[in-house]
Amino acid sequence: MGVRVEEVRLSLPHIELAAHLYGPEDGRPVLALHGWLDNAMSFARLAPRLDGLRIVALDLPGHGHSGHRAAGAGYALWDYAQDALLVAEQFGWQRFSLLGHSLGAIVATLLAGALPERIERLALIDGLFPLTHEPELAPAKLGEALRAHLQLGDKRKPVYASVDKAVSARLRGGYPLSREAAELLASRGLVPQAGGYTWRSDPRLTLPSLLRLTRAQAEAFVRAVRCPVGLVLAEQGLLRDPHWLALLEQLPFTVWRQPGGHHLHLDDEAGAAAVADCFKALFAEA
């Protein structure tokens, strides 16, 4: 689309992060947070369509060109929320909006619920509620996660002979997405290595969470949001839990249901345009 994108590095007290910067310096500040095992390229098709916004599309810690967390640290949702807040502080944003996809949408919602006075808008793509545990399952789940952490040292990241093979592997794993989307994410997510290419992402990202919120806690965060919220739901997306869909009907959020899969904003230009039209309406509100 011929849109200028600036690559920036951000030195936080505990980690160095990378980001793509879009839009005019005097645009409305927006922090964009991608999904699990994605990177800042998640917004490559969407961000240029959102005129008048100053969008900082992060590589979250452990993803893309950002640093990995220190040994012994983890990747809990609340850690990402703190990262996002510190990035906003670095830019001097007292009030800002959040654009999030999947994991990024969940983190954005937690931050907006925790600090409603700081967040102007929430623009969410196929994500809102975190994965949860019933309280009685917490001990067993913590045990499973601790054992998995101990075993991580015995695992090696896969090496692919070519970029194309790495892209094909991405298409076979996790959430469905188009080859074009996988290629865009791979352009930032792969690093050359002896014998081919491997993913830059921190292997610890694939470990189970040590603890998860309960449903009651997750609902409390969502109900604590005070800003206007626009949620794009993909028809072939991930938000299908009847409990959460019923709760969504009770919330004062604007919900748009769009054709496509979980990465509808990245899969093709038509999907990106449709999502952009939804969010233009959100940001046009007084």
Average pLDDT of the chain?
A: 95
| Residue in 83, 86, 98, 101 with CA at minimum distance from that of residue 41 | 101
Does 139 map to a domain? no
Query: In the prediction, which pLDDT does 173 show?
Result: 82
Confidence of residue 154 (pLDDT cuts 50, 70, 90): low
Give the residue carrying structure tokens 């200028």: 4
Task: Provide the pLDDT for residue 274.
Answer: 98
Per the domain annotation, does 114 fall within a domain? yes
Q: Which pTM does this prediction carry?
A: 0.97
Residue 48 has pLDDT above 80, yes or no: yes
Number of domains in the chain: 1
Residue 102 is among the residues annotated as catalytic for this protein: yes
Domain assignment present for 171 = no
42, 66, 97, 102: the active-site residue: 102
How far is residue 35's CA from residue 32's CA, in Å, rounded to a whole number? 10
Q: pLDDT-derived band of residue 157, with 50, 70 and 90 as boundaries? A: confident
Q: What percent of the chain has pLDDT over 70?
A: 99
Q: By residue range, what is the domain housing residue 77?
A: 6-134+213-284
Q: What is the pLDDT of residues 60-96, one digit of tens each?
A: 999 999 999 999 899 999 999 999 999 999 999 999 9
Going by pLDDT thresholds of 50, 70 and 90, the confidence category of residue 153 is: confident
Assigned domain for 103 exists: yes
Residue 199 lies in a domain: no
Other beta carbons within 10 Å of 142: 16
- pLDDT at res. 285: 81
Residue 263 in domain? yes
CATH assignment of the domain containing 98: 3.40.50.1820
